[in-house]
Amino acid sequence: MTTMQGTRVHTTTTSPLGELTLVGEDGALVGLYLPEHRRGPVAAGLGERVDDGFEDVVAQLGEYFAGARTRFDLALRPAGTPLQQRVWGLLTEIPYGRTATYGELARRLGGPGLARAVGSANARNPINVVVPCHRVVGGDGRLVGYAGGLDRKRWLLDLEQRVLPTQDGPVRPPHEKLLA
């Protein structure tokens, strides 16, 4: 993605989840928002609309939605507090097709008392799909909270479960103690 220093730009692309808004700054992806995204940016925060510069992001998303990509290789720079940054980093460690609970992530950060903070950071993830906040579930394995809606969260998890047999051998349970 090419942008001038300090210049924020955006574009949109179609996907099985609806129209996605991609936001870039200084050559990095800083936002990926779903339709009706809760806590999404105001239009003025998206920067100028452009048609070029997001080809790699669009290509990798297309591969992901087609089941041909299980990891993204993009320059990312989500803006957030140090705790949010740590949570978003942990999200990228949840393996494709698996889930983790808020409590598991909180323990990785230092204690179960951080579960609410993990939930708050997860809800404010500005780079959906690529930073896989859809892989976080409630303590009992139920789907809870997703800025793009629970049907989209379910769709993403189902996609990853369908792809696993061809990418990774036998299907594994979607929820395991991954980050203990």
> Mean pLDDT for each 10-residue chunk of the chain (180 residues)?
71 95 95 83 84 95 95 95 95 93 91 87 94 92 84 94 64 43
Beta strands 48-49 and 100-101 are unpaired
Q: Of 9, 20, 106, 133, which residue is the catalytic one?
A: 133
Topology match between the domains 8-65 and 82-168 = no
Residue 1: the pLDDT is 57
Cα(28)–Cα(33) distance, integer angstroms: 15
133 belongs to the catalytic site:
yes
Cβ neighbours, 10 Å, residue 21: 19
Cβ neighbourhood burial of 34 (10 Å; 0-12, 13-18, 19+): buried
Where do the domains of the chain lie? 8-65, 82-168
Structure token pair of residue 82: 């140090």
The residues facing 11 across adjacent strands are: 22
Which CATH architecture describes the domain 8-65? 2-Layer Sandwich (3.30)
What's the one-letter identity of residue 28? A
Residue 178: the pLDDT is 43
Is the domain covering 82-168 a CATH 3.30.413.10 domain?
A: no
Cα(145)–Cα(63) distance, integer angstroms: 26
